[in-house]
Amino acid sequence: MPSTLPRYVLTEVLKMYAAGLALMFALQLADTLSSTVGQAFAYDASFSEATAAFFAILPTILNRSLVLAVPFAILLGLSRLQHDSEVKALLAAGVRPLGLVWPLLLPFSIVGLLAFWNAASVAPAGLDRWDRTWYGIIGLSAPIPTRTNYTYAPPGALYYAGQVTGQPAQGTQPAQGTQSGARTAQLAGVMVQREGTIYTANSGVWDAGARTWTLDAPWVTTPGQPPRQELRPLTFAQTDTLQPPPPEAKKVSNALLRRELAGTALTPQQRREYVYTLASRYADPFTPVAFALAAGALGLILRHRAAAMAGVIVFLASFYAVWFTMPKLASAGAVDPTLAAWIPSLLFAGLGLALAWRVNR
């Protein structure tokens, strides 16, 4: 096959990709602006704050646009060639059908690499800046970090708190290993077990500086004796470090995701979310290649532009349905997080192989 033929098809598809990328980017940007511009005016956001928020969300919008523009470009590009009977002419000249599809995989592999680089660190940092900027615009402080189901078990003792809520000290800078500068934290649903005696309380205070837990009016349960309530606070030495809770998975880089997964601070649900997020940042960049294979084979089957546009809609709707469902299933533990991250790409890769077999028959 002459090398000019695949280049000709690729040129047509890449022109449509540029148009599709601009369209997908504009649609998502318009959707974001429509939901935020009113709030920006309502809270008198300055030009610098609005600009900071705008640039913070751009990497996330760009990443989705890079992927979603692929089926748009290939299906509409091939439909244009089908409409002008150019595909028929190429096939009549002895060009194998899949010979028009394989060359499309390389450029969209490059798109996948760009999406991988963007998703690894740029987009997560942007999401973090987006939230912090909006907290500043609205005039709220960032949510106080909390940890749930905290457990610490040194030799001969057990410390448990249903919830640990950090309290930043006034006028202090964040201290190493504490929650956003917190030297104390509020405890809820507290239990301490020492030397066979169990102390329980509805609330308490963790003093990171003094390295103590103080329980408010705790109940004391000693083996062989009836429970009794102390009317005064009881203080216990507690040598663990007041660590900040793990950050939201979507807001941290791949390196930090791996570091958190290597530790023991994550709850089972948080660990599933971290595993899914990290796996999806490797799986999602493969989606442009899967899209290129499936859309390329489908584009050789569809003969009309209307059918190609319908194919674009079905592609994107199907992808979003699976893509939005998998994180919830992974977080709930219904599906292995790594498998859930790869399912959307694998489904379209399988569809592409099936369509390629159909075209090549």
Residue 251 in domain:
no
Cβ count within 10 A of residue 289: 21
Residues 166 and 74 reside in one and the same domain: no
Residue 259 in domain:
no
Residues 133 and 154 reside in one and the same domain: no
Q: Which residues contact 216 (CB under 8 A, 6 or more apart)?
A: 201, 202, 203, 204, 205, 233
* Residue 144: predicted pLDDT: 64
Residues 126 and 24 reside in one and the same domain: yes
Rounded to an integer, what distance in angstroms lies between the CA atom of residue 283 and that of residue 349? 12
SS3 211: coil
Closest by alpha carbon to 163, among 177, 179, 139? 179
Residue 256 in domain:
no
Residues 163 and 78 reside in one and the same domain: no
Residues 89 and 196 reside in one and the same domain: no
* Residues paired with residue 152 on neighbouring β-strands, in sequence order: 159
Residue 253 in domain:
no
Q: What is the pLDDT of residues 112-129, one digit of tens each?
A: 999 999 999 899 999 999
Prediction pTM value: 0.77
Please, what are the averages of pLDDT over each run of 10 residues along the chain (361 residues)?
67 91 94 87 87 92 93 86 65 67 88 94 93 84 73 92 74 38 81 93 91 94 91 92 82 92 85 95 94 87 79 87 92 94 94 86 71
Residue 172 in domain:
yes
Q: What is the DSSP letter of 334?
A: S
Residue 12 in domain:
yes
* Residue 140: predicted pLDDT: 66
Q: How far is CA 208 from the centre of its chain?
A: 32
The domain containing residue 327 runs over which residues? 4-138+268-360
Residues 62 and 98 reside in one and the same domain: yes
Residues 154 and 85 reside in one and the same domain: no
Residues 12 and 125 reside in one and the same domain: yes
Residue 245 in domain:
no
Residues 233 and 344 reside in one and the same domain: no
Residues 134 and 204 reside in one and the same domain: no
Domains contained in the chain, number:
2
Residues 71 and 178 reside in one and the same domain: no
- Structural contact between residues 87 and 308, judged by C-beta atoms closer than 8 angstroms: no
CA atoms 128, 134, 137, 142: torsion sign: negative
* Residue 172: predicted pLDDT: 38
Residue 166 in domain:
yes
